[in-house]
Chains A and B, each alone.
Chain A
Amino acid sequence: MKISFKVNGAARELDAPPLQRLLDALRLVLGLTGTKEGCAEGECGACTVLLDGEPVNACLVPVGQCQGREITTVEGLGAAGHLSPLQRCFIDHGGAQCGICTPGVLISAEHLLRRNPDPDDDAIREALAGNLCRCTGYQRIIESVRAAAVLRRADARDVGDPRDVGDARGARDVSHDRQEAP
């Protein structure tokens, strides 16, 4: 089945079996290996991506259902050298250890912050309830999201629409005291 859709803002076209998992289409066909596979049954959230702006488990989405739709993966949030404030906060606040859960957690957190720029801890916990982490104990993740929310609000006051901040094309590294490893 021919499928055209947008991935991280760019138009893509695939000729794929319609029931192929979006997860495999992203990783194996498009080479976007940021999105991870954990459980393959909707429980762990490692494969979370945005589908038309909503978080979904890419292991449970057949790529044939993505015709004409927009996908955002962790690569769409920002990349080495121009991490989004949210990504930067996960580094600065210890929200990532082994990193397997991190792409999914970042996507869920990005979704939360787009809809709720000032979430309390309960809202953060609920938004991340579908993302399991075996390393951090979650507290650092929550602190990272809280810190990102503060940065994004400050950024929104300074530069305008907060929704642009998490977008790779407009991403700026607002944490000035660190440099990316080359």
Chain B
Amino acid sequence: MSVSDLRLFEMRRPADLPDVCAVLAERVSRSEPTVLLAGGTDWLVEQETRPAFAKEAALPLVLDVSRLPALRGITLDGDRLRIGAAATYLDMRRDPAVLARAPMLERMGRDIGAIQIQARGTLGGNLATASPAADGVTALAAYDATLVVHSVRGERRIPFASLQTAYKRSTRAADEVIVAVEIDLPPAGSPWIWRKVGTRRAQSISKVALAGVAVREGDRLTRLGLGMASVAPVTALLSRVRTLATSRPLRDLTAADIDAAVDADVSPIDDIRSTRDYRAHCARSVVRAFLRDLGAPV
């Protein structure tokens, strides 16, 4: 595939969400390839690196969803934050509700590529590409976000915990459009962490990244959400760490227990960006650092 082949693709700009759902349903039922294009920062790069389409293969139809009003916008309703799937990272970084109530999302957004990528990239694209290194997905995992998807069958809500099934696989059906993500926010001022370990701050894919949000009452955590990138085939939810850290007073947590829980929750590999051992080391130390900030004597 080369850049010049891009001119072969057909693109449509659907009028509204029902229109997208209808076209998508019809094409999926006929096994015709279809691409929902948002910021293009994943899809266009993939086109340049993939092998050429076979001569007889049908080229995907591209549906531009980047400016559909139903997929845009960021709204706060009480303690529930809704972010449109086609809102960009830059939209998020500038949104007063995000800044006031979900500062971890703003911090995460700052680490996505560089400003040119933040001005185009979206959570919808990040979720659909579903890389285990995806930063947006990692932050959403920590917030235990809910995906709102639409199809000709109507709306469906997918809690994060039942989204991912295997490497780049999810419970979202092929004809379901990601419309928004919703987050039940912790109280304003709650502690959080965003820590991306990479070769440089901009334009780097993480060796390990940790997203965390917590609610603390006295010496106990009443809510702990964690997401970790690049340590498993899917974004890791660190469920053993969550259970451990909310099961006892913070002062009773030990480094050995935390490390054991992290080790059981992750399954890192050697690859071009890092090694299994270094990733495991980073995973343990960033989790301990967060719990230490929260008051654990580790």
> Interface digits, A15-58 against B, CB 8 Å rule (1 contact, 0 not)?
00111110010000000000000001111010010010011110
Specify the chain B residue showing the minimal Cβ separation from A17. Answer: B7
Q: Is A166 an interface residue (CB 8 A)?
A: no
Q: Identify the stretch in A60-68, A87-95, A174-182 within 8 Å (CB) of chain B at 4 or more residues.
A: A60-68
How far is the CB of B56 from the nearest CB of chain A, in Å?
20
Specify the chain A residue showing the minimal Cβ separation from B10. Answer: A18
How far is the CB of B107 from the nearest CB of chain A, in Å?
13
Q: A65-B64, A127-B115 are in contact. Are A60 and B8 (CB under 8 A)?
A: no
Q: Is A11 an interface residue (CB 8 A)?
A: no
User: Is B37 a contact of A62 with CB atoms below 8 Å?
Assistant: yes
**For A41, A67, A127, which residue has the most chain B Cβ atoms within 10 angstroms?**
A41
Specify the chain B residue showing the minimal Cβ separation from A132. Answer: B203
Q: A41-B45, A51-B119, A130-B113 are in contact. Are A19 and B202 (CB under 8 A)?
A: no
Specify the chain B residue showing the minimal Cβ separation from A68. Answer: B67
- Determine the interface band of chain A, counting residues with CB < 8 A from chain B: 20 to 34
User: Is A62 a contact of B6 with CB atoms below 8 Å?
Assistant: yes
User: Which B residues, 29 to 48, have Cβ-Cβ distances below 8 Å to chain A?
Assistant: 37, 39-41, 44-45, 48
Residues of A within 8 A of B120 (CB): 56-57, 60-61
CA distance A17 to B66 in the complex (A): 18
User: Is B41 a contact of A42 with CB atoms below 8 Å?
Assistant: yes
User: Is B115 a contact of A108 with CB atoms below 8 Å?
Assistant: yes
CA distance A17 to B59 in the complex (A): 14
User: Is A20 a contact of B66 with CB atoms below 8 Å?
Assistant: no
Q: Is B171 an interface residue (CB 8 A)?
A: no
CA distance A60 to B114 in the complex (A): 14
Specify the chain B residue showing the minimal Cβ separation from A16. Answer: B7
Q: A17-B7, A18-B11 are in contact. Are A62 and B40 (CB under 8 A)?
A: yes
Count of chain B residues with Cβ under 8 Å from any Cβ of A? 32
Residues of B within 8 A of A41 (CB): 45, 48-49
Q: Is A129 an interface residue (CB 8 A)?
A: yes
CA distance A178 to B104 in the complex (A): 48
User: Which A residues, 110 to 155, have Cβ-Cβ distances below 8 Å to chain B?
Assistant: 111, 126-127, 129-131
Q: Is A79 an interface residue (CB 8 A)?
A: no
User: Is B11 a contact of A55 with CB atoms below 8 Å?
Assistant: no
User: Is A43 a contact of B8 with CB atoms below 8 Å?
Assistant: no
Residues of A within 8 A of B40 (CB): 60-62, 65
CA distance A126 to B45 in the complex (A): 23
User: Is B3 a contact of A54 with CB atoms below 8 Å?
Assistant: no
Q: Is B128 an interface residue (CB 8 A)?
A: no
Specify the chain B residue showing the minimal Cβ separation from A58. Answer: B116
Q: Is A1 an interface residue (CB 8 A)?
A: yes
> Interface digits, B131-155 against A, CB 8 Å rule (1 contact, 0 not)?
0000000000000000000000000
CA distance A59 to B45 in the complex (A): 9
How far is the CB of A15 from the nearest CB of chain B, in Å?
12
Please list the residues of chain B having a beta carbon within 8 angstroms of any beta carbon in chain A. Answer: 3, 6-11, 13, 37, 39-41, 44-45, 48-49, 62, 64, 66-67, 90, 110, 113-117, 119-120, 201-203
- 3 pairs of A and B residues whose beta carbons are closest in the complex: A130-B114, A129-B202, A17-B7
Can you name 20 A-B pairs with beta carbons within 8 Å? A17-B8, A18-B9, A20-B6, A41-B48, A42-B45, A43-B203, A54-B90, A55-B116, A60-B39, A60-B41, A60-B44, A61-B40, A62-B11, A62-B37, A62-B62, A65-B66, A65-B67, A111-B115, A129-B201, A130-B202
